[in-house]
A = this chain, B = another copy of it.
Amino acid sequence: MIGHGFMGAAHSQGWRVAPRFFDLPLDPAMQVVVGRDPGRTAEAAATWGWLEAATDWREVIRRDDIDLIDIVTPGDTHAEIAIAALRAGKHVLCEKPLANTVAEAEAMAAAAEDAARAGVRSMVGFTYRRVPATTFARRLVAEGRIGEVRQVRAEYLQDWLADENAPLTWRLNKDIAGSGSLGDIGAHAVDLTEFITGQTVDRVSGILETLVAERPVMAEGVGLSGTAGAERGAVTVDDLALFTGRLSGGALASFEATRFRTGRKNALRIEISGSRGALAFDLERMNELEFYDATLPESEQGFRRIFVTEPSHPYADRWWPTGHMLGYEHGFSHQVVDLVTAIAERTDPAPSFADGLHVQRVLDAVERSSAADGAWQTTR
């Protein structure tokens, strides 16, 4: 695993726990974690249960005993690492967004396609696809239970920047993070829309906005929880993204990604309206899926709160009895299960780097539209 921040903790938990609850066809070992700072990396290895710590990812990629590289670094480093790993014949799991630019993502997708011909697998980490409720939603759409998709509303609402004195972290620096709310959380809204509907976002019109232009600069290297000083620096990414997309099936989808929706902490929500029904999901109540069946008698129609914890629900039978909730981290175990299964079965896992590239193109088109007074842009 390359990197060891918040995402490193989540990925480590996935690797550690998945084999305990699922019958994996292979037996993954948590071998080595890589970071720049030797001390902090060693500490991460101890905390998260990796056997070794290393500081040079290139060296790790060359090792024969390493079969899979899990990339959890910031987006600006994804391309270089992933391409090198794929060329070295290692399977790659890369945290989203795939890259910070379309050009990088294109190079990565091309490398993944080359590698796939040699049986090397790659996958991008949109774990919200693997919440039982969202996987089940996709199944219901595929089975025609909501009919033809007519409209989508997808939003990812947070509020951790609502405080204008929240510090200037790397996530607010365009050079490192690529974009702000758009790439960090809007990407999830786009991917989830495409995953559940089985369609792609083909054209977009939108606007990006930075609500607080300057924030306190942090003492170097301090990270998220550091004390900020009096100096203020420029926020170079968006705080809010509002855009409309045209799906490949013809329907319009309305998107919002924001870190300023006061009181909303992690509300990735999607509602899909179809000719025969509708589905609604909210990550803040991730064990529930609301389903409206418009084919029932008029007097009996209503949004139905399905508690997605039954043995017949995706992934759910391997965990706890009905009614016992799963949390944020379980998607990372499911990701491990699906990736390891694909490797063992010699199939290509989803979402692929090509899928990740497509999301990147959607984000890029939104940026272009915002710069072009809202004019519609294609994502191809």
Residues of A whose CB lies within 8 Å of any CB of B are: 6, 10, 12-13, 16-17, 20, 47-49, 136, 146, 150-151, 153, 158-160, 162, 164, 205-207, 209, 211, 240, 242, 244, 252, 254, 256, 258, 260-263, 265-267, 271, 273-278, 283-287, 290-292, 294, 297-307, 309-313, 320-330, 369, 373-376
Contact = CB atoms under 8 A, between A and B. Distances in A.
Contact of A256 (B153, B162, B262, B304): B153
A91 B245 CA distance: 46
A18 B150 CA distance: 40
Contacts of A150: 162, 211, 260, 262
Nearest to A12: B20
A371 to B, nearest CB: 13
Contacts of A162: 150, 273, 275, 294
Given A20-B47, A150-B260, 4 more contacts: A263-B273, A265-B309, A325-B325, A326-B327
Contact of A207 (B205, B304, B327): B205
A260 B303 contact: no
16 contacts: A6-B320, A16-B16, A20-B48, A151-B258, A164-B275, A242-B252, A263-B273, A263-B294, A266-B321, A266-B322, A266-B324, A266-B325, A297-B312, A298-B310, A299-B312, A302-B307
Contacts of A284: 287, 307, 323, 325
Contacts of A12: 20
Given A13-B17, A48-B20, A207-B252, A312 B298 contact: yes
Contacts of A328: 320, 324-326
A261 B13 CA distance: 35
